[in-house]
Amino acid sequence: MRNNRIELLAPAGDRDCFLAALNAGADAVYLGLKRFGARANAGNFTREELLQSLDTAHMHGMKIYLTVNTLFKDREMDELYDLLYDPYINGLDGVIVQDIGVMSYICDTFPKLPIHVSTQAGITASAGARFLLPLQVKRIVPARELSLKEIRKLYEDTNLEIECFIHGSMCYSYSGKCLLSSFIGGRSGNRGRCAQPCRLMYDGGYPLSLKDMCTIDMIDELAHSGVSSFKIEGRMKSSAYVYGVTSLYRKYLDIFETTGKCDVSSRDRSRLISIYTRSGNCSGYYKCHNDSSMITQGSPSYESSTEPCPSEAVISPDIPVNISCSIHTGEKAVICIYNDDHSIGQEVDIIAQKACNHSLTVETVENQLKRCGGSGFRAENVEVSVDEGLFLTKGQLNEIRRAGLEAFSDEILRKYRRKHDHLPEKSREVCDDHDELSHDSKVETRISVLDKKQLEVSVSSDADTLIIPMSLADEDVLDILRHTGKKICISLPVIVRDEDRANSSHNIRSFIESITKEPDINGFYVSNLESLQILKDLGYKGEITADYMFYAYNSRACGYLRKNGIANTVVPVELNMHELSDRAITGEELMIYGRIPVMISANCIQKTEKTCRRDRYGNRLYITDRKGEKLFVYCNCNECVNTIYNSVVLSIADENALFERIRPSVVRLSFTDESGEETKRIIDRYFAGRNKNGSCKINPVEDKYTRGHLKRGVE
């Protein structure tokens, strides 16, 4: 177990929730402003409320972490300086970030602001965390899918603070990195607006709806795994929820830290799981990789027996202080405010006059100094020394008290304040941290496949490069590829874990060392920081492409990746035409055809339905939503990962205006559930109408398709 005190971190969707967390004993809260937090529909805070809350929190020894954990569009990067400047100066304790471009900007502009890597960054192994170490990262919030053993390894390998969720809702998709809501209705989880389509019915049931997490019985195991911050989910929930859940975890964390044990009473456990619970509870992924017992099965409705939040729980508590005051003839009044932690003496520019009628008494001064109402303080003991025959008005006594308490507040808050003279000048040029991606006039065509039938068709096509998944790259497939005359790229797993599976960091390292001995392997596609760091560790100098699940949403993110091993990035799938123009990057790779992966999950639909066949090359199935749309699901049993794809294919090969604006150097046709015949038909149709710039005179599909977000984008 770590020697430091474990932090209890509570959510605060609004001011009442903040006060509820404070009164319930939270060590810290995380909250968001009206923009750029992953809970856009929470009440959230104005700038003034945040600054007020910072002072309140720091006066009580509590910390505040600001969520800036959405993906940023280029035009929004200009707002970062104004967004963070005042909170930074006033002692913001940390900022929770997903976007690597935002991390890079904060590191350059606010060098003393600790960065906490959001769970939506999807850190699943220590290699990914190590990639971010140069960016003043202090804390990792790993993917919620990690086991206790993996969390312990992450802590031991990096020595970073580890923050883990201990209670509340869970996303079906890894770390909440989900595009399902985005493609169904334009409400992006990456932008804090998820409409929770995972809670809807599919095939007459709810196979994508996870029960809520409750780990009150696992406090000791989590602590021994290196977790230093216990995080409660719930910025969309009420102050009653925040107060009730926080107070119960506070109780048992205190017991554990005092006794080393944590035996939860059945009464308290029942109280806890009755607070706003979705179809029962589970302990998350800490002890099992996946299981049908984690799924709600029935309708994922909430049940709540939560009593209303006590009225005193949403009132800022007063800080107890002691006061001493000296009022002597011909001298300025002196007031001293102190408690066990702080002490301040203040000389006040007020001199008592000789009394004409009524002289000051000790009792009069004591009574006036005790009246601290509304100041945030409560006078417990007051000592007064007053010479005889002096007089001060009540207003003057109030001013003495006010000056003392203000000085005491300043003394407490002084250590949190940051000087601004070390900050760089405010600049609007925050998005120019990238080099122009070079590209030849000839646009390269690449084809990615998921199975051997698609590969066999693609080998005989006019494509320049073939992309195959690591799981397909066995000796038989390599035999097919050795003499094709085409470039070959390997797509590394979308999830890399520190566990004993095919997609473990150890196995991927071994695979890369082996496959790079093949002379015809020209590069790798990576979908996560873990794969990129493993390639860097191995000193790989070939081509590395950041795939579209590796979010390079803005030009600053692109620039950072380019300077750290990435040769090319794939055009983000959530930006519209105008936003891609604002991003001002040319020469990237553009996916012009294929199903977009909308969910990557550690849970397994087949296992939930008890139909898992554990096929080495993966199982395929479809789930049908309430509107009759079929979503293709690829169950990679070798890696124990489910990928759910959009119900309709993206097809934008004929979008000539887009091609002129972003001038891609590579276009890609991506095949997932297509048969060999369908694959051939689409490839032939594309090449029959292909233009020099990579676009196509005709759309390469004939049936139902989508233009994605090119027209509408996401909020």
Q: What is the pLDDT of residues 247-262, one digit of tens each?
A: 999 999 999 999 998 8
Per-residue pLDDT, 483: 81
503-545 confidence digits (pLDDT tens): 999 999 999 999 988 778 999 999 999 999 999 999 999 999 9
Using DSSP's 3-state secondary structure scheme, residue 108 falls into helix
Res. 598: pLDDT tops 90? yes
Residues 40 and 157 reside in one and the same domain: yes
Residue 431, domain member (yes or no): no
Residues 406 and 549 reside in one and the same domain: no
* Among the ranges given (69-83, 420-434, 485-499), the one the predictor scored with the smallest mean pLDDT: 420-434
Res. 361: pLDDT tops 80? yes
Give the count of domains, the chain.
3
Per-residue pLDDT, 647: 94
> Encoding tokens for residue 189?
């989880």
Question: Quick one: pLDDT band at residue 182, thresholds 50, 70, 90?
Answer: confident
Per-residue pLDDT, 449: 97
Tell me the H-state helices in 460-570: 475-481, 505-515, 529-537, 555-562
Res. 37: pLDDT tops 60? no
Give the other-Cβ count within 10 Å of 237's Cβ.
Answer: 22
Only one residue has tokens 């201990």, namely: 166
51-63 confidence digits (pLDDT tens): 999 999 999 999 9
Res. 1: pLDDT tops 50? no
* CATH code: domain of residue 682: 3.20.20.70
101-110 confidence digits (pLDDT tens): 999 999 999 9
Strands (DSSP E) along 88-179, which ranges?
94-97, 115-117, 137-140, 161-168
Residues 73-95 have a mean pLDDT of 93
Residue 66, domain member (yes or no): yes
Q: What is the CA radius of gyration of the chain?
A: 30
From 407, 271, 428, select the one nearest 345 (Cα to Cα). Answer: 407
* Among the ranges given (34-43, 88-97, 344-353, 663-672), the one the predictor scored with the smallest mean pLDDT: 34-43
Residues 358-364 have a mean pLDDT of 91
- Domain boundary (285, 309, 333) is at 309
**How far apart are alpha carbons 60 and 676 in whole angstroms?**
66
Residue 405, domain member (yes or no): yes
Q: How many residues does the chain have?
A: 715
Run of H or E including 469: strand 465-469
Residues 451 and 536 reside in one and the same domain: yes
Residues 486-496 have a mean pLDDT of 95
Residue 140, domain member (yes or no): yes
Contact 596, 183 (CB under 8 A): yes
Residues 593-615 have a mean pLDDT of 86
What's the whole-model pTM score? 0.93
Question: Quick one: pLDDT band at residue 3, thresholds 50, 70, 90?
Answer: very low
Residue 435, domain member (yes or no): no
Residue 105, domain member (yes or no): yes
- Domain boundary (396, 414, 432) is at 414
Which positions ≥6 away from 680 have C-beta within 8 Å?
457, 461
648-667 confidence digits (pLDDT tens): 999 999 999 999 999 999 99
Per-residue pLDDT, 2: 36
CA angle 43, 47, 49 (to 5 degrees): 65
Domain that includes residue 396, residue range: 319-414
Residue 219, domain member (yes or no): yes
* Among the ranges given (242-256, 320-334, 350-364, 609-623), the one the predictor scored with the smallest mean pLDDT: 609-623
CA angle 129, 135, 138 (to 5 degrees): 65
* Among the ranges given (568-577, 609-618, 678-687), the one the predictor scored with the smallest mean pLDDT: 609-618
The shares of helix, strand and coil residues in the chain, as percent rounded to the nearest 5, are 35, 25, 45
Residues 332 and 456 reside in one and the same domain: no
260-284 confidence digits (pLDDT tens): 988 999 999 999 988 877 777 899 9
Residues 550 and 660 reside in one and the same domain: yes
Res. 125: pLDDT tops 60? yes
> Encoding tokens for residue 604?
């397994």
Residues 504 and 355 reside in one and the same domain: no
Residues 353 and 456 reside in one and the same domain: no
Residues 540-560 have a mean pLDDT of 93
Residues 492-505 have a mean pLDDT of 92
Using DSSP's 3-state secondary structure scheme, residue 529 falls into helix
CA angle 565, 571, 575 (to 5 degrees): 130
CA angle 451, 456, 459 (to 5 degrees): 120
Residue 118, domain member (yes or no): yes
Per-residue pLDDT, 312: 83
Residues 360 and 393 reside in one and the same domain: yes
Residues 528 and 396 reside in one and the same domain: no
Residues 57 and 165 reside in one and the same domain: yes
- Domain boundary (276, 309, 342) is at 309
Residues 233 and 379 reside in one and the same domain: no
Residues 490 and 581 reside in one and the same domain: yes
Contact 698, 476 (CB under 8 A): no
- In the chain, the percentage of residues whose pLDDT exceeds 90 is 71
